[in-house]
Amino acid sequence: MTARTGVQTADFADVKAANLAVVLRHVRGNAPCSRADIAAATGLNKATVSNLVADLIDRRLLREDGPSGFRIGRPATMLALDGAPYATIGVEVGSDHLTALAVDLLGHRLLSWRRSFAEHVSSPGRAVAAIAALARRAAIRAARQGRQVLGLTVGVPGLVDNDGVVHRSPHLGWSDVDLRGRLVSALRGPAYSVVVDNDANLAVLAEKRYGPYPEATNLAYLTGGAAISAGVVADGRLLRGNRGFSGAIGHLQVRPGGPPCVCGRDGCLEALAGIPALIRRVLPDADTDLTAADLAPDVQELIRRATAGDRPALDALAETGRWLGHGASTLTNLVNSEVVILGGYFAPLAPWLIPSLEVELAHRTAAPRAGGCRVAAATLGTDSTALGAAARVLDHIDSGQLPEHSP
Amino acid sequence: MTARTGVQTADFADVKAANLAVVLRHVRGNAPCSRADIAAATGLNKATVSNLVADLIDRRLLREDGPSGFRIGRPATMLALDGAPYATIGVEVGSDHLTALAVDLLGHRLLSWRRSFAEHVSSPGRAVAAIAALARRAAIRAARQGRQVLGLTVGVPGLVDNDGVVHRSPHLGWSDVDLRGRLVSALRGPAYSVVVDNDANLAVLAEKRYGPYPEATNLAYLTGGAAISAGVVADGRLLRGNRGFSGAIGHLQVRPGGPPCVCGRDGCLEALAGIPALIRRVLPDADTDLTAADLAPDVQELIRRATAGDRPALDALAETGRWLGHGASTLTNLVNSEVVILGGYFAPLAPWLIPSLEVELAHRTAAPRAGGCRVAAATLGTDSTALGAAARVLDHIDSGQLPEHSP
C-alpha cells in the first residue's frame, strides 16, 4: 500500500510526528504503561509503537520505568514520561506582582517565585528588566539541575497581539509595548522560544489542562482582580480572533451611565464587578487608588466579613455576582460556554458570588438552563496564569512539535 | 523511509485522504490546471499527483478538460472539477418563506426555488411535510439530470443543537422540535446525509466560501430579519460551542428597560434593531405583527424613503445602525472579528446603517480601531443561508470526506 500510493517524505514526517504525539499523550494520561498497552489503546501496530517509543526515549521525552510485577506472563517494561531533562518557564505580570513558575515535562513544579512589582508599573523598560532578570534566574536554576529550557511564556493583563506586542494594558499603564521583542533583546536571543500572551488566555489553558473538566471543550476563565478579562476555549481550541484581542469582556457596558472605567468609558463590567469596586462598596475607607495596589489584604477582610454573615458584605458580593452573571451571559449567548471559571480573587469569593451569578446568567441566556453552562471557582489558586504560561510549551509538544535533546 | 517507520494502513489512509483533498482544493481554486501544475504548487511528487488524480477521476470529482494550447512544449492535459455527477441541496426555513437551492461540486446553482411558508409556521408537522416535499422535488430533479444527491442541509432561525433538534425558535413558534429526526423519517431514511443547523451559521459559511474575504479567518454574519443572530467563524472554523447554541446575539440586552422582546425579556438587540422595530419607527401604520409577515415590501418602502432623503427614515436607520454597532461590539470584544457582515434585509439597508454602526462599534471596542474590524454588506443576496446549506457538503468533501460514486 505504501509503495503504490507513494506519498512523499514530507507528508510522511507529518504522520510520524502525529503518531509520536499520540504515543506521548497516551503515556501522559496512562503512565506507567507498556508498549503493548499503547498498541492496544492507539490501534498502532506493535512494531510501529516500538519504533516511536525508541525515538521518544532518544529525545529523552520517555523513559523506561522497570518491569511491572502485576502482569500475567512475561513482565512488560513499563514506560513513563521523563521528568528530568527539560524545563519550561512561565511568568505572570500582574499589576502588583510578578510570578515565575517552572515545570518539567510532567507538569511538576520545579520552582514558584512571587515578587512585588508595583514600583515597575508604568515603566515598560524597568518591567522588561525585571521580567528578564526573573526568567534568567529561573533558567540558571534549571540549567544547574541539568535541564534544557524549552520556552519562556509571559502572561500580561490587556490586549496582546499575536506577535507579543502589548497594545493596551490600562492596569500596567502601557500602550504599544513590544514586550516579546524587548524580552528577546534583554535575554540576548535565548535558545528557547519566547512568547507573550494575554493572562486570561494562559489561565484558561491551565484550567483546561489541570482543572477538573477533562471532558469540557468549551471553557471560559474570568480573571478576577482590578481587571476582568476572559480566556475562551471554544470547540477545544484557544479562541484568539483576528489579532489576538479576543476576551475583552471587562469593557462591555453592562450599565449605561454607570461608574467611570479605567478605559475611559462608563458602566463597563470591570468598573462594576472588578475587585476594587467590590472593596469600595464594603470598605469605604480603603485606598482610593486600588487599581495598582495589592488587593489581597482587603479581599481577606471581605472573606472574614462574609463568613461572619455581615449583611453589607453579603449584599455587595451578591450584587457583584449579578454583574458577573450579566457579563458571563455574553459568553453563554455568543460562544455557548460549558464551564465559566471564576479566577483570581473571584475564586475564594465564589461561594458568595455564584448563587446570584447563576440566577442572572440563566435569566439572560437565550438557551434554556444557561445553555448547559455551569459556574465554578478556579482550582489552581492564584498561579493559573503562570502555570498556563509554563505549560504552553507542553501543549506544543503534545501536538507533535518535539524538542531535539541537546546533550 | 516508509518501510523503516512502518506506519500502518489506517494512518496511511488519512494521509491519502488529506492529499486527495489538497489536490481537489488546488483544482477548485486554479482550474484548469495540469498534473505538473498541481505537483509544483503542492510539493507532492508527480507520480503521487498522477495517482491521486486518477483516484479523483474514478470518483468523478475531477475530469480531464482537453490539452492546453498555450503551453511551451508538449501540451499538458488540463484538469477541472467535474460539475456533472453530484448535487447537494440546501433549504432555508424563514419565518415567512422556504428557499431551496441545489449546487453542483463547483458550487454552480442547479435550481433555486422560493415559496411562501407563513401558513406553516407554528405547526412543526406541516413544516416538516413542506420541507420534505421541497427536498424530495429537488432530489428528483437532480436524479433526472443524472446526479447523485450527496446531502440535504436545512437552516433554521433559532437555537439548534448539534443533533439537529430545534430547541427554541420564537419566530417559528417552535420549541424542542427534532427537525432532523422528523425529516429523516419523512424522507424515509434517504441515502444522502440530512443535517439541520442554525441559519446564521450556514450564512457565514457561504460568505466565507463565496464572499470577497478570501484571506479572512474571523468573520461574523448578522441575520437581518425579524430575528437577529450571529454566525461566527473564529480562527478559520465555525464556532459552535457546547451544544451548538452560539451566536445568540439578538437577545443580549442593549437597553435596560427597553421594549419587550419576543423572547420574553426586554431591551434585547433584536427588539431594538430588528427589521420590525425599524419599520415601526418609520411606518407607524405597518402591520402590528411584523414578526411573521413578509417584510420585503416595507423594506422596499424604507429604501425608497432613504434614497429620497426622508429625514425620519434616515434617523431611524442611523438609530438602528447605532444599536447594531452596540451589538457588534460584543463580537469585536469577545471574538475579535475581522469582518462583520450585515445579512438579510440589513444588506440593502447597509449604506444607511454602516456610518453610525462604525462609530458606535469603534467607541465600544476595547481594542483601537475596532480591533481591526470592518463592516460590510452581505454579497450573496437573500440566499446566503440556503447557499451555505447546499455548500456544507462541499466543505466536507474539501476536507477529505470524499463520496464514492455509485454508477
In a domain, B407, yes or no: no
A143 C-beta neighbours (distance < 10 Å), count: 12
Contact A149, A99 (CB under 8 A): no
Q: Are B334 and A247 an interchain contact pair (Cβ–Cβ within 8 Å)?
A: yes
- In this prediction, residue A6 carries a pLDDT of 30
- In this prediction, residue A296 carries a pLDDT of 86
Domain boundary among B41, B60, B81: B81
Q: Are A334 and B366 an interchain contact pair (Cβ–Cβ within 8 Å)?
A: no
Task: Using pLDDT thresholds of 50, 70 and 90, give the confidence band for residue A83.
Answer: confident
For residues A309-321, give the mean pLDDT. 98
List all residues 6 or more positions away from B42 whose beta carbon is below 8 Å from its beta carbon: B22, B23, B26, B49
Same domain? B104 vs B74: no
Per-residue model confidence as pLDDT tens digits over A16-71? 888 888 899 999 988 899 999 998 888 888 888 999 999 999 999 999 987 765 55
Which residue would you say has higher pLDDT here, A7 or B406?
B406
Residue A182 grid cell = 524587548
Same domain? A154 vs A238: no
Place of cell 516511536: A52
Residue B332 to residue A220: CA distance in whole angstroms: 17
Say if B45 is an interface residue toward chain A (CB within 8 Å).
Answer: yes
Same domain? B199 vs B236: no
> How far, CA to CA in Å, does B38 sit from each of A14, B12, B48, B75?
20, 21, 10, 15
**pLDDT-above-90 percentage for chain A:** 72
Contact B207, B219 (CB under 8 A): yes
Blockwise average pLDDT, block size 10, chain B, 407 residues:
31 73 90 91 87 93 79 77 93 89 93 78 86 96 95 95 93 92 96 96 95 93 93 95 95 96 94 95 76 80 97 98 98 98 96 98 96 95 91 88 71
Q: Are B364 and A265 an interchain contact pair (Cβ–Cβ within 8 Å)?
A: yes
Same domain? B307 vs B339: yes
Same domain? A331 vs A233: yes
B93-B99-B104 Cα angle (round to 5): 120
Q: Helix axis angle, B199-210 relative to B384-398, nearest 10°?
A: 70
Domain boundary among A52, A81, A110: A81
CATH number of the domain that A270 lies in?
A: 3.30.420.40
Taking 60 as the threshold, does the pLDDT of residue A356 lie above it?
A: yes
Same domain? B182 vs B229: no
In a domain, A403, yes or no: no
Query: Minimal CA–CA distance to B118: which of B133, B97, B138?
Result: B97
Nearest CA in chain B to A267: B364
What domain range is B165 assigned to? 86-203+386-398
Query: Minimal CA–CA distance to A273: which of A293, A252, A257?
Result: A252
DSSP string, A130-189: HHHHHHHHHHHHHHHTTPEEEEEEEEESSEE-TTS-EEEETTTTEEEE-HHHHHHHHTTS
b/e per residue A380-396 (b: at least 16 CB within 10 A)? bebbbbbbbbbbbbbeb
- In this prediction, residue A7 carries a pLDDT of 33
- In this prediction, residue B270 carries a pLDDT of 96
b/e per residue A308-328 (b: at least 16 CB within 10 A)? eeeeebeebbebbbbbbbbbb
Side-chain-side CA neighbours of B236 within 13 Å: the count stands at 4
Amino acid identity, residue B243? R
For residues A115-123, give the mean pLDDT. 69
Q: A368: which chain B residues are within 8 Å (Cβ-Cβ)?
A: 167-168
Number of A–B residue contacts, CB under 8 Å: 215
Say if B68 is an interface residue toward chain A (CB within 8 Å).
Answer: no
Distance from CA of A11 to the nearest CA of B (A): 7
In a domain, B16, yes or no: yes
Say if B162 is an interface residue toward chain A (CB within 8 Å).
Answer: no
- In this prediction, residue A9 carries a pLDDT of 34
**Total domains, chain B:** 3
Same domain? B141 vs B254: no
Residues 125-154 of A with CB under 8 A from B: none
Task: Using pLDDT thresholds of 50, 70 and 90, give the confidence band for residue A287.
Answer: low
Same domain? A182 vs A233: no
Query: Minimal CA–CA distance to A328: which of A305, A359, A351, A295?
Result: A359
Q: A159: which chain B residues are within 8 Å (Cβ-Cβ)?
A: 366-367
Q: Are B167 and A367 an interchain contact pair (Cβ–Cβ within 8 Å)?
A: yes
Per-residue model confidence as pLDDT tens digits over A253-281? 999 999 999 899 999 999 999 999 999 99
Contact A195, A153 (CB under 8 A): yes
Same domain? A20 vs A162: no
Residue B307 grid cell = 434614497
Domain boundary among A81, A110, A127: A81
Same domain? B196 vs B299: no
Same domain? B39 vs B131: no
Residue A323 to residue A313: CA distance in whole angstroms: 16
b/e per residue A75-97 (b: at least 16 CB within 10 A)? eeebbbbbbebbbbbbbbbbbbe
Q: B4: which chain A residues are within 8 Å (Cβ-Cβ)?
A: 51
Taking 80 as the threshold, does the pLDDT of residue A219 lie above it?
A: yes
CATH number of the domain that A72 lies in?
A: 1.10.10.10
What is the DSSP pairing of strand B237-238 with strand B230-234? antiparallel
Cis-peptide, bond into residue B32, ω within 30° of zero: yes
Radius of gyration in angstroms for the set of CA atoms belonging to chain B, rounded to a whole number: 23
- In this prediction, residue A360 carries a pLDDT of 98
Same domain? B54 vs B160: no
